[in-house]
Chain A
């Protein structure tokens, strides 16, 4: 059934169809509408499980509650954004270390300071190596569909999954989506059978202290299981298509990029903008396409290298920048393409909610296609202001010395 709903409500409805047993979250913009939607559904008995919705005092507690409920063998869900994800960081690593298949939505938002509530992807990027699978939604349709897949991925592999949904751009946008039915979801998603759980009939100690004699092996096993998730993630997205009749998720998606000279790589909702741009270039027969990465962690480096091997240059557009790294995705792509001569350009845009306009991006792509672009560039950055301040601060530092 087609309907026009807010992205967050679409996500909440998809989660509700997954029959979660425990939903626990703490409010943070822009994740709030998702959990508000779920709280309402639980109150109204609209979820076909004995779902418990728990209000807690912090994000750290929210994920801790999910750790407890998942370890007791029930389907557990939380959602957060930005500072909230940082505040739960210790529990984020604990959940993946204990291989608890929790699903968490990240309503992608900038991290401070300075404090900023708007969209970029530096929050989920800050946890990219925490041992959680990370999948990114391009549209509201995909945001809902990815959650249905996320529970299956998590529970089949016993690895927690973050579903990254761009804050405001998706969470607060009204779009037409095709909703799923309970029958479809039940056919696709089997009941949760935990790898291990607290059980009075079979008491076991979970979360024991591991010393130097075994810690290396535990970590190595954990990473091996994590890296093995790539194929199942692709397979589960194909199973989804069979049952639901629409594509969602998977490792990557080409858009006119299978044999393009220039390939623009991106995560999340900016792919929509890119597709419009590619359509415009197509009219002028420019050899450029876009390539959406659906699964960011584990990073399908081999598959991506294979898909991009024909390209002359790759332009990575992303909404994050980290000290010492630059753009995380550009970094990953550079490593994936290290055995090729493909030129990689890193473009940072949309930080703290600054819109990424088609025109601005096309200017950058035009320069990239002439190989005139800097290795690292920014979309609509006020260079004069930044340069002026750097000069002023240099003077200040000189005086101080």
Chain B
């Protein structure tokens, strides 16, 4: 696969991070000179890593809002491995990694310690990938939600176990090829009718704030971090982060893929408080799921000769169901 490195100038308007023409109070922290750079350069993420971008965007905003008073607990996974190969670290924040499945509980402990010390002005963040969040650490996550501990949990969802070599997780979408959902049998790739929707499960806990965000919309992401940071108690932010390695996509397409996931309806952007949806980010220009899927090798089997048309139709049906459930299109567009 050849990589097209030609810069593309596209007019994306006010949503771009680097729009320095905006007034300073609404400009993204990513385009300000004094951003914290919580996750600094030199780390070992792959080219085009969506998770590295997502983590920097989210934690920089947290740093700005908390005036650098942050403790971050990180689950095992890509983000932990590529940022802290001993003796190096890319984190400009107090940062703690313990295990794969316990980041929410460790964050509870950090928060309890701060409370014991009377230092409740420090924000506690727990973060991990989808494997940690959706699968192995889910018990601890649910416990942290249920106790309403004062922790903002951020999941960077790249839809599989990328760090161990792209195996299926509970967040892997149907039909996606992973190392453990190979392209064999009558329905290649991951199964339909499985998977765990953690944003919805988080809503069911009745916690103060739940939101989904994407690295394709920095200002929306930052607004959601800001909203989360204005509250106390357990809060959950789910960020969709494309993975060139695991998805078989071009590094230059990371942001584009994140945008297409939203515009196709496959990844709905919404926010909710205490179990009630309070807002959705409407789709600006609806695209068929093909546009999103075709840029990823994990889905190429859907478009090959002899592919079961039901599989592609099934993915489109998921997108359509999201659009209907969350009301992602303006009434005129329906």
Contacts and interface: CB of A to CB of B under 8 A. Distances in A.
B134 interface: no
B143 A94 contact: no
Given A56-B105, A58-B143, A203-B92, A67 B84 contact: no
Contact of B97 (A61, A199, A208): A208
Contacts of A202: 94
A65 interface: yes
B98 A200 contact: no
B109 A67 contact: yes
Interface stretch (A69-77, A117-125, A290-298, A332-340): A69-77
B97 A69 contact: no
Given A60-B140, A67-B106, A211-B85, A22 B112 contact: yes
Contacts of B116: 21-22, 49-52, 69, 74
Contacts of B93: 203
Contacts of A69: 109-110, 112-113, 116
Contact of A203 (B95, B146, B147): B95
A60 B69 contact: no
A200 B69 contact: yes
B96 A206 contact: yes
B193 interface: no
Contacts of A67: 98, 102, 106, 109
A160 B211 CA distance: 38
B86 A210 contact: yes
A208 B105 CA distance: 18
Contacts of B106: 64-65, 67-68, 71
A198 interface: yes
A198 B94 contact: yes
Contact of A209 (B80, B102, B105, B146): B80
A51 B117 CA distance: 9
A103 interface: no
B110 A50 contact: no
A205 B95 contact: yes
B79 to A, nearest CB: 11
A68 B105 contact: yes
Contacts of B74: 207
Nearest to B81: A209
Interface string B55-95: 00000000000001111011000001101111111011111
A299 B35 CA distance: 52
A72 B109 contact: yes
B107 interface: yes
A65 B84 contact: no
B206 interface: no
B interface bracket (residues with beta carbon within 8 Å of A): 35 or more
Contacts of B329: none
Given A50-B118, A68-B107, A69-B113, A208 B140 contact: no
A199 B143 CA distance: 26
A71 B115 contact: no
B122 interface: yes
A200 B108 contact: no
A94 B117 CA distance: 24
Contacts of B113: 21-22, 52, 68-70, 72-74, 76
Contact of B96 (A90, A207, A211): A207
Interface in A60-113: 60-62, 64-74, 76, 90-91, 94, 98
A210 B113 CA distance: 27
Interface string A12-51: 0000000001101000000000000000000000000111
Contacts of A52: 112-113, 115-116
Nearest to B146: A57
A377 interface: no
Contact of A208 (B85, B99, B115): B85
A50 B86 CA distance: 35
A203 B97 contact: no
B105 A64 contact: yes
B195 interface: no
B86 A54 contact: no
A209 B85 contact: yes
A214 interface: yes
A200 B124 CA distance: 11
A1 B95 CA distance: 46
Nearest to A218: B86
A323 interface: no
A52 B139 CA distance: 21
A55 interface: yes
- The residue in A22, A72, A74, A202 that gathers the most chain B C-beta atoms within 10 A of its C-beta is A72
Interface in A179-214: 198-200, 202-211, 214
A354 B208 CA distance: 51
22 contacts: A22-B109, A24-B112, A54-B112, A57-B142, A61-B102, A64-B140, A65-B108, A65-B109, A68-B73, A68-B105, A69-B109, A72-B71, A76-B109, A91-B98, A94-B99, A200-B94, A203-B93, A204-B94, A205-B96, A206-B97, A209-B84, A209-B97
Interface of A: 21-22, 24, 49-52, 54-58, 60-62, 64-74, 76, 90-91, 94, 98, 198-200, 202-211, 214
Interface of B: 68-71, 73-74, 80-81, 83-89, 91-99, 101-102, 105-118, 122, 139-140, 142-143, 146-147
Given A65-B112, A71-B106, A198-B95, 12 more contacts: A54-B108, A54-B147, A57-B142, A60-B105, A61-B108, A64-B102, A67-B98, A72-B71, A203-B92, A205-B91, A209-B81, A214-B86
> Which 8 residue pairs are nearest across A and B when measured between Cβ atoms?
A68-B109, A72-B113, A207-B97, A64-B105, A57-B143, A64-B102, A68-B106, A21-B116
